[in-house]
Structure 1
Amino acid sequence: MPTLLGGLRRRLLAPSLTSVSFAGRGFPITPSAATSRLETVPQAVVCGFEWGIEAPALWEIERRLDMIEPEQRGFAYEGATMAATILDVMPGRRRDRTRELLEGPGKPHIFLAYIGIGFAMARLPRPLWKKVLPELTGVPYHPVMSWLAVDGYGFDRAYFDTRRWVDEQYVPKPYPWEDRPDYFLRAVDQGVGRALWFIHGANPGDVADAVNRFAGHRRADLWSGVGLASTFAGGCGRQGLALLRDAAGEHQDELALGMVFAVKARTYSGFVPPHTRLAATTLGGLTLDAAHELGDRTEVAADAPGPEPAYEQWRQRIRDHFAVSGQRLAS
């Protein structure tokens, strides 16, 4: 059962469902059944955060999150991980909630859990960021995919401070995540691109226009974020995805790259919704199995040498596949 202190933390720290809704954020979206379904994503994150910030036993958090429908459960784990991260860095608190969550019931949702760490980073002063990433044992994709925490930070800022981060195209100061400050801004933009999918209600034309308002050197990473969001969260059908693919133009490879990572995340979680299968075919010209296999065979070890982080080397191998094969043009 939640404690009095846990309930107080939830009241003080948890956003309301209204405040994360598209209307609550003032996004330029015409309400529809599709946008209503899409905005359940941030609302699932809030539910996970509320349950996590009360700091119940891990077993109770797991039981609560199991009640979320499979399609949205990973997003709820984002929120629970965000809460665990904030609790871990509080003075006088235990330091292992995030590790226990991610080595335990959160392991199948590790991709989205990293994003939850990024949500916490958006609410913590930078000096505390060095404490947010736990040392994990027996968790695949760690720490290579921890760059998704920086992605999550970018998503959060674009979603909640849209005027500054999207309209004014704010560029934050680099941070030495994984000792690579040179890559920080690129990972941030991948998150901003994901946010654009939600800010514009999965409308392909509006999303493309938003990306194209950014400086040219930022668009590739923005498009990869759009590809990830459209594949993992859904929001439009085959025709809309085909329009999105065509609108990406020279960045179709980036769009397909985001799709492959979304397929990896969905298949690893154990639940793949129909819209993810559809995006694999439409954005990348691949079956779901082929997209998953592509992600597997291009994986890069955490200690791989090179001028780029292993995460970006992995992304580049996927990007190269589409550039060489031309499969992205299939519909």
Structure 2
Amino acid sequence: MTTVGAVRRRLFGIPSAKAVFSRPGFAPEAWERFAPVATSLMEGYHAALEDPRMPVLAARLEAVEPSLKGFAYEGAGMGLAALDAIAPWKRRLEAFAAGPGARHVYPVYVGVGLAYARLKRTPEAQLAALDPLLGWVTADGYGFHEAFFKRRRYVEQHAVPTRLSRHGRQYFDQGVGRALWFSNGGVVDRVTRLVAGFQPDRHADLWSGVGLASAYGGGVDEAALRALLAHASAYRPQLARGAATAAWGRRTAGNPAAHTDLACRIFCESGSDDAADVVEEAARDLPVISVEPRYEIWRRRTEDRFAT
């Protein structure tokens, strides 16, 4: 670690992942089941702060266990976005997303959204500098952060972000759904009860986030996933889209996981490879110019395929 890196770690580092999971409202199962996820994300975040030089950072991230590598890249995206806020002329995030992080660009952008929330930046104001399709994923990361760290306001009081567009709020809610899964330790009854407390027009995006998190992060067995589907049967296409997106992300990165395949078999009624094919096919021939974000068209195409 460089001297400058040590200073950045002291100033911006997160002292304890376990302490984060011990906050009021979190289920005891959250840390028990997702400690490796949180630890990997922290490793990526601190690695970026300590030494953001591409070869050094990439080597540290690639040393993480394959099934958890996406979370480490998410943390790195968060760290690099924070560093770029301090020294924007260095454009570290752009170089990383086009280089070592290219195969993991989806979780990298989720991490960027986490940084935007901490920096109080609106994700949509930063889109011009990001990938035109996946840049919107930063709103998902933003929503995850707010629901995870400001639970009372965004989970218990169901606050709606005021600085986001209609589409931005949808992706924000997808992030909230992911936060509900991890902060509640994948306990199906708790997650279901919390989703039900939101306005009905937010449920579809919340469930898509739950589907993505349960497929990508795992944490539960087949019986729990089937119980989840039973509770959210009206939103099966959203659960399926979330799971298929997780499968696509893992295939793109080359880090498949058995729990992702299991979730796809339950929510998508197909293996993870077939589910990933649906997502990949939906991304073909997206319009270059559209009133709606390309990301929204991609999501809807994927969802429609599973609805039929």
Give the TM interval when normalised to the shorter protein: over 0.9
Match of 1:244 in 2: 228
Question: Are 1:44 and 2:28 matched, yes or no?
Answer: no
Classify the secondary structure of the residue corresponding to 2:232: helix
In the TM superposition, 1:160-199 aligns within 5 A as 160-175=149-164, 181-199=165-183
TM-aligned CA deviation for residue 303 of structure 1 = 3.6
Aligned residues of 2:173 and 2:206 also touching (Cα < 8 A): yes
1:254 to 223, 238, 248: 238
Aligned residues of 2:18 and 2:31 also touching (Cα < 8 A): no
More helix by share: 2
Aligned residues of 2:237 and 2:303 also touching (Cα < 8 A): yes
Question: Are 1:292 and 2:276 matched, yes or no?
Answer: yes
Count of residues paired in the alignment = 308
Change (3 A) 1:111 1:56: closer
In the TM superposition, 1:1-331 aligns within 5 A as 2-18=1-17, 21-23=20-22, 25-31=23-29, 35-91=31-87, 94-126=89-121, 130-131=125-126, 134=129, 142-175=131-164, 181-301=165-285, 303-324=287-308
Aligned residues of 1:300 and 1:311 also touching (Cα < 8 A): no
Change (3 A) 1:129 1:144: closer
Per-residue CA deviation, residues 78-132 of structure 1 (Å, 9 max, x unaligned), is 11111111111215x5432111111111111111001011011011133797457
Aligned residues of 2:140 and 2:175 also touching (Cα < 8 A): yes
Give me the whole-angstrom Cα distance separating, in 2, the residues matched to 1:60 and 1:27: 38
Per-residue CA deviation, residues 284-312 of structure 1 (Å, 9 max, x unaligned), is 11112210111111115554454421111
Aligned residues of 2:113 and 2:123 also touching (Cα < 8 A): no
Give me the whole-angstrom Cα distance separating, in 1, the residues matched to 2:62 and 2:228: 33
TM-aligned CA deviation for residue 221 of structure 1 = 0.3
Gaps of 5+ in 2: none
Aligned residues of 2:71 and 2:107 also touching (Cα < 8 A): yes
Give me the whole-angstrom Cα distance separating, in 1, the residues matched to 2:59 and 2:299: 35
Classify the secondary structure of the residue corresponding to 1:122: helix
Classify the secondary structure of the residue corresponding to 2:118: coil
- The one-letter amino acid of 1:283's match is F
Per-residue CA deviation, residues 157-192 of structure 1 (Å, 9 max, x unaligned), is 1111111110111111133xxxxx231111100000
Gaps of 5+ in 1: 136-141, 176-180, 325-331
Classify the secondary structure of the residue corresponding to 1:81: helix
TM-aligned CA deviation for residue 54 of structure 1 = 2.1
Aligned residues of 1:45 and 1:79 also touching (Cα < 8 A): yes
